[in-house]
Amino acid sequence: MPRTQAEEAMAEGERLELAGETTRAREAYRRARMLFHEQGDAGGEAQALVQLGDLETRMGHYETAREAFVEARGLFAPTADQRDQGAILTRLGELAHRQRNLAEARQFYQSARELLDSASDASGEAHVLKRLAHLERDEGRQDLALDRYRAAIALYRRVGDGLGVANATRHLASLYRELGQTDRAHDCFQEAIRLYQEAGDTLGEAAATVGLGHVLKHNGDQAAACRKLEKAASLYSAAGNLAAEADVLVELGHLLAPTERGRARHHFEHAAKLFAQLGAVERAERADRDAKALRD
């Protein structure tokens, strides 16, 4: 069945967002929301608002994101779908967390968990547990954060949500790295990479590969760390996430600069081109300066 104009607009927003064209992605999601509204499709309109809210969250526009999520929650309300309500409450909890309203974030998460538990949505509940783990981690309760991550992984496994397991395992690996438990971090990043590959999630694989590269760098294996970061850059490129690719290339450039000036310069030059393509003028100029410093 051919996609409607609203569905086409949603797909365009997702494509533009992956390419780092956030302004155009925002407009595509807004257009999708309007088209769904004109069709009388409240569910589609709510989903467009959720996508818009997620984008605004990633851009740091928290009040705009909150407005989108609250509107979406209102559209979901007539259906009394506890899963949708729980998902929105989880997002509102994340916004509160980002704004350092930790008590409010915890309340949103607890309410979301109760709804998702009532709806027998184990995967959704696992996601809330993961978010709660992030909260405990930020509040310095690392032991409790470890328990939350492990509980989330167990729930994801129970329902066969491999991608959920991968995401929680990657965060668990990052916490192990912070705690100096590099062997456990290494193993968890490796497991996350395997699971992302099985799920076909290139972006997740790239993020886990960056994490593994950081562990190898911490352990003093610079050559292996560079290989992992170069792999991550190629994965981001394949997924069309040019901003993340450029960030990794800059990191590679700094890592290689003391010993392999030619390779480092190449990475800086490539990063400068990507930043320029994305309209990130200051970052493009900075990467270009780093490249020029290695031409002498």
pLDDT at 84: 85
Residue 271 lies in a domain: yes
pLDDT at 295: 79
Residue 87 lies in a domain: no
Residue 144 lies in a domain: no
> What range defines the domain where residue 257 resides?
225-296
Residue 3 lies in a domain: no
Residue 234 lies in a domain: yes
Residue 255 lies in a domain: yes
For residue 185, give the nearest of 210, 160, 215 by alpha carbon. Answer: 215
Give the C-alpha separation, 49 to 4, whole Å.
17
> Model-level pTM?
0.82
Residue 243 lies in a domain: yes
Q: Provide DSSP, 219-278.
A: TT-HHHHHHHHHHHHHHHHHHT-HHHHHHHHHHHHHHHTTT-HHHHHHHHHHHHHHHHHH
Please say whether the beta carbons of 90 and 128 come within 8 A.
yes
Q: Based on the structure, what is the number of domains in the chain?
A: 1
* Per-residue pLDDT in tens (0 to 9) along the chain, 296 residues: 567 898 899 999 998 887 778 899 999 999 999 999 999 998 899 999 999 999 999 889 999 999 999 999 888 877 667 888 888 999 999 999 999 999 999 999 999 999 998 889 999 999 999 999 999 999 999 999 999 999 999 999 999 999 999 999 999 999 999 999 999 999 999 999 999 999 999 999 999 999 999 999 999 999 999 999 999 999 999 998 999 999 999 999 999 999 999 999 999 999 999 999 988 899 999 999 999 998 76
**Structure tokens given for 164:** 């959920």
Residue 10 lies in a domain: no
Counting other chains too, the contacts that 19-24 makes at CB distance below 8 Å and 24 or more residues apart are 19/240, 19/241, 19/242, 20/241, 20/242, 20/243, 20/278, 21/278, 22/55, 22/58, 22/59
pLDDT at 80: 60
Give the C-alpha separation, 75 to 164, whole Å.
27
